[in-house]
């Protein structure tokens, strides 16, 4: 059984980005600049955005954080997006999700210029992804594909069961893994927590991706010997063991599932770090050949 080391892979790929950023300077190319819009004070979102800003510093990108209170008007948020769309110093930006209930998330995401949509959430980028055209791939699916590639996990002709059909993970990953490509070429079954016969489907799977946000949901009796298991869950649960008072728990009952697996990704230390890395890759791509 091999434990997928997202920390190692992300660190390697991050140093490639750092080198490319240094090279840009001598080539007269613009320093990549990522902006993040954060609404409110949700603990999880604060942590994610702080890590994104820190990642930028570490690879030599510029970063800008734009904050709004929970009660921000939708129109104010749309105005900020319009400014970012038209600011030539900003190559790419994200609006951290979730947004407060009074804000229409789709309307906000659709307001982002697709050429700056480094999250890959805009319908134009999603549509291009479906058609296999060049686009910004959303971070978690892209990070999972890169881990599969790095560890040479065979996908061609294999049955992959994905549990969780979110717009940002399960649904796009089901398309990417079923495409005739490498990695890809899988037969994919896209499930959710209420799928009838979920256990039986999982027992047929060569690859299982758990992305439903229910800690410890995938148990050992659902996993075939030799399967590869990718855990996308990152639920914050209270903990007396950490300074923050929280810890991250994955969707997989790791201790009992791991002994049956060929490969397994842990939480933390698996997919999450790759998600952060892809945002940097996408920002570098957005900066492209823009001159200083
Ligand atoms: N909330 C949870 N994951 C993400 C992400 O990848 N991007 C954004 N914008 N918000 C998120």
Q: Are residues 195 and 257 in the same domain?
A: yes
- Which atom of ligand 1 is nearest to 36's Cα? 9
Q: Are residues 160 and 265 in the same domain?
A: yes
Separation in Å, CA 34 to CA 116, 199, 259 = 9, 42, 41
Gap between the Cα atoms of 200 and 164, Å rounded: 16
199 catalytic per annotation: no
Q: Are residues 148 and 268 in the same domain?
A: yes
Compute, in angstroms, the gap from residue 1 CA to the centroid of ligand 1: 30
pLDDT digits (tens, 9 = 90+) for 194-207: 999 999 999 999 99
Q: Are residues 101 and 162 in the same domain?
A: no
Q: Are residues 106 and 34 in the same domain?
A: yes
Burial 98-128 (b: 16+ CB within 10 A, else e): ebbeebeeeebbbbbbbebbbbbbbebbbeb
**Domain membership flag for residue 221:** yes
Q: Are residues 146 and 212 in the same domain?
A: yes
Q: What are phi and psi of 148, to 5 degrees?
A: -60, -40
CA angle (170 as vertex; 47, 284 as ends), nearest 5: 55
Q: Are residues 109 and 177 in the same domain?
A: no
- pLDDT for 134 equals 97
Q: Are residues 160 and 234 in the same domain?
A: yes
pLDDT digits (tens, 9 = 90+) for 249-278: 999 999 999 999 999 999 999 999 999 999
**Domain membership flag for residue 278:** no
- pLDDT for 174 equals 98
**Residues 215 and 267: beta-carbon distance below 8 Å:** no
Q: Enter the pTM of the model.
A: 0.96
119 catalytic per annotation: yes
Compute, in angstroms, the gap from residue 97 CA to the centroid of ligand 1: 5
Domain containing 79: what range?
A: 29-114
Which domain CATH number covers 72?
A: 3.40.50.10860
Which residues of the chain have a pLDDT value below 70? none
Q: Are residues 68 and 154 in the same domain?
A: no
Compute, in angstroms, the gap from residue 119 CA to the centroid of ligand 1: 7
- State the total domains in the chain: 2
**68: alpha, beta or left? (left if phi > 0; alpha if psi -120 to 50):** beta
- pLDDT for 43 equals 85
Q: Are residues 156 and 250 in the same domain?
A: yes
- Which atom of ligand 1 is nearest to 95's Cα? 9
Alpha helices in the chain (DSSP H): 6-26, 43-59, 74-85, 105-111, 123-131, 139-150, 170-178, 198-203, 254-257, 271-287
Tell the residue number behind the tokens 């996908």, with chain if given. 155
- pLDDT for 291 equals 94
Which domain CATH number covers 167?
A: 3.40.50.720
Q: Are residues 38 and 143 in the same domain?
A: no
Pocket of ligand 1 (CB under 6 A): 94-97, 119, 139, 275
């Amino acid at each position: 059984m091999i434990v997928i080391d997202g920390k190692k892979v992300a660190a390697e790929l991050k140093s490639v980005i750092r080198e490319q950023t240094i090279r840009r300077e001598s080539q007269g190319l613009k320093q990549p600049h990522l902006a993040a819009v954060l609404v409110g004070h949700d603990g999880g979102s604060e942590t994610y955005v702080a890590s994104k800003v820190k990642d930028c510093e570490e690879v030599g990108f510029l970063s800008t954080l734009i904050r709004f209170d929970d009660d921000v008007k939708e129109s104010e948020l749309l105005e900020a997006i319009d400014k970012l769309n038209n600011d030539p110093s900003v190559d790419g930006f994200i609006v951290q999700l979730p947004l407060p209930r009074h804000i229409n998330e789709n309307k906000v995401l659709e307001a982002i210029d697709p050429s700056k949509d480094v999250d890959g959430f805009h319908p134009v980028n999603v549509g291009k992804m479906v058609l296999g055209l060049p686009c910004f791939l959303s971070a978690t699916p892209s990070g999972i594909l890169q881990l599969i590639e790095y560890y040479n996990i065979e996908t061609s002709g294999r049955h992959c069961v994905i549990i969780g059909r979110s717009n940002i993970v399960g649904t796009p990953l089901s398309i990417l893994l079923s495409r005739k490509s490498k990695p890809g070429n899988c037969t994919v079954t896209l499930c959710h927590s209420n799928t009838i016969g979920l256990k039986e489907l999982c027992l047929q799977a060569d690859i299982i991706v758990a992305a439903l946000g229910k800690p410890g949901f995938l148990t050992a009796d659902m996993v075939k010997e030799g399967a590869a298991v990718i855990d996308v869950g990152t639920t914050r649960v209270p903990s007396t063991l950490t300074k923050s008072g929280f810890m991250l728990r994955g969707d997989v009952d790791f201790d009992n599932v791991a002994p049956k697996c060929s490969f397994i990704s842990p939480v933390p230390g698996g997919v999450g770090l790759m998600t952060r890395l892809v945002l940097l890759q996408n920002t570098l791509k957005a900066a492209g050949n823009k001159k200083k």
